[in-house]
Amino acid sequence: MPKKILFIYNQVVAEERKACFGECALVKDVDAIREALKESNNHILSLDLHSPLQLEEFILANHSIDLAFVIAEGFKANPHTLYNGHGAALVRRYLAKYNIPCTHSSFESMEVCRNKDLTYARLRERGIPIPQYLVFETHFINNIKCIEAQVSEIGYPVIIKPAGGGNSIGISSKSVVYNFKDLMEQVKTVQKQLGHTTLIIEKYLAGQEYTIGILGNKEKYVLPVIGFPKNLGVRDAGTKITEHTLRDKFEFITESDKRFNNLLELGVDSFEAVLANDVLRIDLKEDELGNIYVIDVNGTPALSFTGSLNFMANKAGLKHNQLVQLVLYKSMLRYGLAPNIFFDELVKGLILKLIKHESIEVA
């Protein structure tokens, strides 16, 4: 029996995809995801998410929805929800009010993923290496003596990142600072851009950057791991838009590589630490000694054509539509919404090409 699936996204055209709308999806990517979802032979409804009221009216007018496929990071009419770290969880809370299950991680998990202070606290609890960091509220900018001492303890250079948001909102090459004066200048710049906010000040790691994509739940499939070119520098929003043109310079870390097991373990441990579901992309960075640290977990990794996740999926033999369908399939399985046999068979053949990782059951 086909299910009624509500696809929820924040859509913008290329010119609008900047500043606080940097996390929104391009119309062409939304269209491609919708087409892929339709191929699953379910009944797909679409909503470009603006406001809670619009969402509630849509739900009531389209009763009853079996599952929401949610890539929206918040409400476009309240742009701060797109980057303040709470939007993805908030959307899920509204859906929970109507008992509508969601793809991707739960609202509790999204809250952890979208707030780097919560992410780091959770990863640290599980013994996963993270850079040395401190949390700084811009409200308390006058309390600088205490900050100065703490940053000295971490040691320069440090990088300043907004705790909420993603897609490098509030992050640029200027985020890396070598002294306290420049640090305070950058804090003011971010505050001007985003208003009062929580910042993370952390050790700048000068080595190579990696990203790991994991699909599934208890049974996980790790996509081929990307090693970014060593000279890419801080991946700001501009770099993320254009870096796909450099893909021939990207490295794939294969099983024979001595970094492989460590990366795989860090990725899977992070997935479990944040209690992720269906899909997660984890960013990691090396220090100059080659020690690898987790720097970011992405609960709603871009499903765009040019995004890292699709690049990894393509390497594993999955086309873009199959990647989208796999996320949907994993979610439907989790909720016991039996997918049709054709779809099941299609995916079964494909996942064999990925690296399978069975999680060990914790008693």
Ligand X SMILES: Nc1ncnc2c1ncn2[C@@H]1O[C@H](COP(=O)(O)OP(=O)(O)O)[C@@H](O)[C@H]1O
Q: What are phi and psi of 126, to 5 degrees?
A: -90, 10
Instruction: Please report how close the Cβ of residue 66 comes to ligand X at its closest, in angstroms.
Output: 31
Residue with Cβ nearer ligand X (49 or 295): 295
From the number of C-beta atoms within 10 Å of its C-beta (0-12, 13-18, 19+), residue 361 rates as exposed
Q: Is 296 near ligand X (CB under 6 A)? A: yes
Strand ranges (DSSP E) for the chain?
4-9, 11-12, 25-26, 43-48, 67-70, 133-137, 158-162, 176-177, 198-203, 209-216, 219-222, 225-227, 251-253, 278-286, 292-298, 355-358
Closest residue to Mg ion using C-beta atoms? 296
Instruction: Please report how close the Cβ of residue 184 comes to ligand X at its closest, in angstroms.
Output: 19
Residue with Cβ nearer Mg ion (78 or 193): 193
Instruction: Please report how close the Cβ of residue 109 comes to ligand X at its closest, in angstroms.
Output: 15
Instruction: Please report how close the Cβ of residue 259 comes to Mg ion at its closest, in angstroms.
Output: 19
Question: Among Mg ion, ligand X, none, what binds residue 278 when CB lies within 5 to 8 Å by partner kind?
Answer: none
Residue with Cβ nearer Mg ion (210 or 343): 210
Closest residue to ligand X using C-beta atoms? 296
331 Ramachandran zone, left/alpha/beta (phi>0; psi -120 to 50) = alpha
Closest Cα to residue 253, out of 281, 288, 225? 225
Q: Is 171 near ligand X (CB under 6 A)? A: yes
Q: Is 166 near ligand X (CB under 6 A)? A: yes
Gap between the Cα atoms of 355 and 151, Å rounded: 40
Residue 211, strand partner residues: 226, 283
For residues 186 to 225, the per-residue mask of contacts with ligand X, x marking binding by CB under 6 A and - elsewhere, is ----------------xxxx---x----------------
Instruction: Please report how close the Cβ of residue 329 comes to Mg ion at its closest, in angstroms.
Output: 26
CB neighbourhood size of 159 (10 A): 22
Before 224, cis peptide (omega within 30)? no
Q: Is 283 near ligand X (CB under 6 A)? A: yes
Q: Is 131 near ligand X (CB under 6 A)? A: yes
Among 26-34, 143-151, 163-171, 248-256, which window interacts with ligand X (CB under 6 A)?
163-171
Gap between the Cα atoms of 232 and 306, Å rounded: 17
Positive or negative, the CA dihedral 103, 108, 111, 117 is: negative
Task: Decide the pairing of beta strands 158-162 and 133-137.
Answer: unpaired
Q: Which of 29, 111, 202, 296 binds Mg ion (CB under 5 A)?
A: 296
Q: Is 283 near Mg ion (CB under 5 A)? A: yes
Question: Among ligand X, Mg ion, none, what binds residue 234 when CB lies within 5 to 8 Å by partner kind?
Answer: ligand X
Residues that bind Mg ion (CB under 5 A): 283, 296
